[in-house]
Amino acid sequence: MKFFNNEDTKIFALGGLGEIGKNMYCVMHNNEIIIIDAGVTFPQGDLIGIDYVIPDFTFLKQNESKIKALFITHGHEDHIGGIPFLLQSVNIPAIYVPNQAIGLIRKKLNERNIQYKNLFVYTEKDKVKFKNMEVEFFKTTHSIPDSHGIAINTPNGTIVATGDFKFDFTPVGPMANLHKMATLGNKGVSLLLSDSTNALNEGMSMSESRVDEALGEIFKSHDGRIIVATFASNIYRVKHIIDTCRRNGRKIAIFGRSMETNIEISIESGYIKNNDLFVTPSEANRLPDNKICLLCTGSQGEPLAALSRISNGTHRQIQLKDDDVVVFSSSAIPGNAVSISRTINKLYLKGVKVYTNTLLSDIHTSGHGKAEELKLMIRLMKPGYFMPVHGEYRMLKTHADLAIECDVPKENTFILSNGEILSLYKGKVTKNGIVQASDVYVDGNRIGDISNAVMKDRQVMATDGIVVVIANVDTSKNILLSNPNITTRGFVLVNYNFELLKELEEISKKAIISKLKDRINYAEVKQEIIGQLAPYIYDKTGRKPIILPVIMNIKETK
């Protein structure tokens, strides 16, 4: 394919650099923009109350007419979770997705009542052509079926984005297409964007087949019920568990909405062939213990997930028994250690046997390649330039070092931040400019109406609560109409602190009266209240709540 070339091709991330989450990579040539993935991040740490973090779509809004298509590498939330928000913000002419992802995306759009007609399934055989660019695909192995890498042929050279991948020479699903990767590498890859998640881990990740064996061993050695928690989207793992149940004469009951959804979609799309083993929870309760497996969500200790409710004893259908066995076929996502511990402790307390991957490493393997696998990808692609993606900064840095070990010149590696632009021109890559790419918070159903100020207020209220001071003032006579009302939430136990609250009332009263002048200045009165109360409260309680004075002018409002 020949293109008319009079300018550079631009490559930048709107998400995915310096973080694990909200992957979104853009390739722009002249008046065409191709987007790869549209993910969300589930917030951690101090972003309390935020449901998702999504990429900043400002650049895409400003260049809406140029957008040609969105390509999805695979159906994980950090690659597809942002689609509903993206579609609410900009017009996307077409979305190309692998087979397994389409059901997940449709479900997601339905839940938000978004009508969208231009969802197309691609396979490895397809090529998608635009005026200046052509997109092709290669099959990879990951912890969800139908993961693909994407190659974009541009007038300036070929750009490859691996998507999430590992190499598994004895996979449970189909083999990754090593030969197509080799062919792409031979034809020449100008720039490789590659998954950095496990760059810090040496060696090679364990094969999914080994997990199969380890699960089989647990199934063989226990006669009680077996309860397995795993990532709902890890369909290969779910497939193992089903196969293991079949071999061991156990039926399966499913718990947790995301588990139900993923299995349903996998049956529809053919990844799970037989559903003859599935039984309802009440059927499960009637079967002998050695004839049943409970497959559930909650491997991260999520408080409302099935396993958490089972471990709490608050699950409507399942009560734990002494000889139950619980298998966490999963790893801990950083930040979830405390909630996972809590669940495990509750399970121990009920007297059941618990297997986790820290006690028995073979019951889980990561979907992301470790150092040796990352090197294999680099060797296959032989890229001229290298841009590690999908990782925190230390992972990107370590991945760049791996590329240098594999003969990519140091000056040809680019560790970027979201928004930083690479320019590819006639096979040469340089850093050139920046687009807006901040974090956008989604809380409830509203995009981006949470600012840092709102987050800061939440943080303070979470830590020390709020003290509301309400004063009714008659400005015509310059008098305070009544004692200020002090109301608190999350501050102190009100019943035991009447004296303290009475003090706050007195201090507020004096502060207001001292500022009642010819012409009352509301801001000044509020400032005075805060200025008087804050040090007093800190002295008495060691706390720094939000102090919220509200001055109401009764004459004015009558």
Choice between 365 and 488, CB closer to its own copies: 488
Ramachandran assignment for 194, one of left (phi > 0), alpha (psi -120 to 50 degrees), beta (any other): beta
CB of 449 to its own copies, least distance (A): 5
Q: Which residues contact 119 (CB under 8 A, 6 or more apart)?
A: 95, 97, 102, 105, 106
Stretch that binds its own copies, among 167-175, 180-188, 227-235, 534-542 (CB under 8 A): 534-542
Stretch that binds its own copies, among 259-267, 276-284, 377-385, 388-396 (CB under 8 A): 388-396
Q: Is 148 in the site for its own copies (CB under 8 A)?
A: no
Tell which positions 488-517 bind its own copies, by CB under 8 A: 489-493, 496-497
Tell which positions 357-376 bind its own copies, by CB under 8 A: 358-359
Q: Is 481 in the site for its own copies (CB under 8 A)?
A: yes
Stretch that binds its own copies, among 205-213, 268-276, 526-534, 549-557 (CB under 8 A): 549-557
Stretch that binds its own copies, among 68-76, 392-400, 505-513, 521-529 (CB under 8 A): 392-400
Q: Is 175 in the site for its own copies (CB under 8 A)?
A: no
Tell which positions 303-342 bind its own copies, by CB under 8 A: 334-335, 337-339, 341-342
**CB-facing half-sphere around the CA of 258: CA atoms within 13 A:** 19
Beta bridge partners of 466: 489, 546
Stretch that binds its own copies, among 84-92, 96-104, 304-312, 354-362 (CB under 8 A): 354-362
Tell which positions 410-469 bind its own copies, by CB under 8 A: 443-446, 449-451, 453-455, 457-459, 461-466, 468
CA distance 174 to 162: 17
Question: Which of 16, 119, 4 is closest to 393 using CA atoms?
Answer: 16
Choice between 114 and 183, CB closer to its own copies: 114
The single residue among 209, 285, 423, 472 that binds its own copies, judged by CB under 8 A, is 472
Angle at 151 between CA 150 and CA 154, to 5 degrees: 140
In this structure, the strands spanning 466-474 and 479-480 are antiparallel
Q: Is 44 in the site for its own copies (CB under 8 A)?
A: yes
**Marked catalytic residue, from 195, 212, 324, 464:** 195
Q: Is 542 in the site for its own copies (CB under 8 A)?
A: yes
Convert residues 48-77 into a mask of x (bound to its own copies by CB under 8 A) and - (unbound).
xx-x--------------------------
Stretch that binds its own copies, among 154-162, 213-221, 518-526, 540-548 (CB under 8 A): 540-548
- The DSSP letter of residue 331 is -
Q: Is 114 in the site for its own copies (CB under 8 A)?
A: no
Tell which positions 277-296 bind its own copies, by CB under 8 A: none
Beta bridge partners of 148: 139
Compute the radius of gyration of the chain from its Cα atoms: 29
The single residue among 94, 175, 178, 470 that binds its own copies, judged by CB under 8 A, is 470
- For residue 138, the surrounding DSSP H or E stretch is strand 134-140
Ramachandran assignment for 335, one of left (phi > 0), alpha (psi -120 to 50 degrees), beta (any other): left
CB of 231 to its own copies, least distance (A): 18
The single residue among 109, 119, 178, 200 that binds its own copies, judged by CB under 8 A, is 200
Query: Is 195 known to be catalytic?
Result: yes
Assigned token pair, 238:
């779910």
CA distance 428 to 434: 18
CB of 500 to its own copies, least distance (A): 9
The single residue among 121, 376, 434, 550 that binds its own copies, judged by CB under 8 A, is 550
**Contact (CB, 8 A) for 557 and 474:** no
CB of 158 to its own copies, least distance (A): 29
Choice between 453 and 523, CB closer to its own copies: 453
Cα diameter, the chain = 88
Q: Which residue has the tokens 């049956």?
A: 267
- Fill in the amino acid letter for 439: D
CA distance 164 to 139: 11
CB of 289 to its own copies, least distance (A): 21
Q: Is 487 in the site for its own copies (CB under 8 A)?
A: yes
Q: Is 483 in the site for its own copies (CB under 8 A)?
A: yes
Q: Which residues contact 410 (CB under 8 A, 6 or more apart)?
A: 404
Q: What is the dihedral of CA 43, 49, 52, 58, to 10 degrees?
A: -110
Q: Which residues contact 375 (CB under 8 A, 6 or more apart)?
A: 402, 405, 406
- For residue 211, the surrounding DSSP H or E stretch is helix 208-221
Q: Is 482 in the site for its own copies (CB under 8 A)?
A: yes
Choice between 178 and 466, CB closer to its own copies: 466
CB of 32 to its own copies, least distance (A): 33
CB of 376 to its own copies, least distance (A): 22
DSSP 281-314: HHHHHHS-GGGEEEEES-TT--TTSHHHHHHHT-
**Contact (CB, 8 A) for 35 and 73:** no
CA distance 368 to 150: 17
Choice between 99 and 487, CB closer to its own copies: 487
CA distance 183 to 190: 14
**Marked catalytic residue, from 76, 240, 364, 368:** 368
Quick one: CA dihedral 338, 344, 350, 351, positive or negative?
negative
The single residue among 170, 319, 345, 476 that binds its own copies, judged by CB under 8 A, is 345
Convert residues 7-36 into a mask of x (bound to its own copies by CB under 8 A) and - (unbound).
-----------x------------------
Name the residues annotated as catalytic: 195, 368
